[in-house]
Amino acid sequence: MQSVNRFLCALAAALLVATPALARSPAKTRPGNTQTAPVFTYDQSEAAMAFATDLATRRNLDPAWVRQQIGQAQRLPVVVRLMQPAPTGTPKNWAAYRARFIEPIRLRAGQRFWEDNRDTLARAELEYGVPASLIVGVIGVETLYGQHTGNYRVIDALTTLAFDFPANHPRAGARTEFFKSELEQFLSLTERTGTDPLTPRGSYAGAMGWPQFMPSSWVKYAIDFDGDGKVDLNNSQADVIGSVANYFKAFGWQTGMPTHYPVSFDNSKLDLDTLLAPDILPSFSVESFTAKGAVIEGPALQHPGKLALVLLENAGAPPTYVAGTENFYVVTRYNWSSYYALAVIELGEAVRALMPSR
């Protein structure tokens, strides 16, 4: 699910975009809607039905079953709108984005979650080396500790994005292929676990459960951390905690390494363009980082790995900078945004500060 001050700006802008004209079938209505609302189902799409047949062959699934599931998926115009790219020139604002997550309601919920799962969080930290604060931060930002896991049928969202992703998006081709792959993973997962594909609900992008795992992440990284013989990211908080820790470990989390350090600048030798060129990918040794005018102090000067200069814009105000480590980059693998990563980190740290010591 898999992004993010970008996401906020895109979301706000996308809601203003007019709904594109879509082919509809007058014979079908949305489930649970008391009014007749014609919808388009993907049994009417030749491309979707051809994909279903091919998927069934490659995955050794019953072709009739796959075609039936994809054929029942409904096109969701709101999902298409939400995936529209943000208008050119939309400003990013780290301060506003941060304020959305580091706030009293989320902090109190995070404190309750930590108190309720103290032993499980400690076990995950011990086994995977991932700090409890980071796990708590992710779950808080993603779903407010399970309060907002999404109300879209996953099969509708994934099928819509696989076959009707907005063509004007700059990465439309790649994203279309991504969502076709996620739809394939979703159907394979539900068939393997005996789950009705029409039942799971999630985000408008098809992410599921408390940690908002896309189907491929569920398959690769979700674990049975409570030992009951099944993986449940909707009802088992232990499975959620263990799965988030496992995800970060799989992407190279290094135990004990900070995610970032404070940074300032020596303007007499500052080469900001070179420092920002790799974006959030750690590319500079401490020596080369400081030689280009970045000023770090204390433990940062003994950092053993590479650093990146991470820029977070604040609309018209001066930007925020941090020196990101390899672990900061790992956090961005959960959601490819430095805004998201720093919000997760800071939420987790803020909740930890509220926890009484034992």
- Cβ partners under 8 Å of residue 295, min gap 6: 263, 264, 265, 266
Which tokens is 331 given?
Answer: 């956090």
Residue with tokens 């005018």: 293
Residues 6+ apart with CB under 8 A from 233: 208, 209, 210, 211, 213, 218, 222, 239, 240, 243
Question: Per DSSP, which regions of 196-263 are E strands?
Answer: 201-202, 260-262
DSSP string, 107-121: HHHHHHHHHHTHHHH
Q: What is the side-by-side strand order in the sheet with 308-314? A: 260-262, 317-324, 308-314
Is 287 in the active site? no
**Which one of 142, 182, 184, 326 is the catalytic residue?**
142
CA dihedral 63, 64, 66, 71 (to 10 degrees): 130
Catalogue the active-site residues: 142
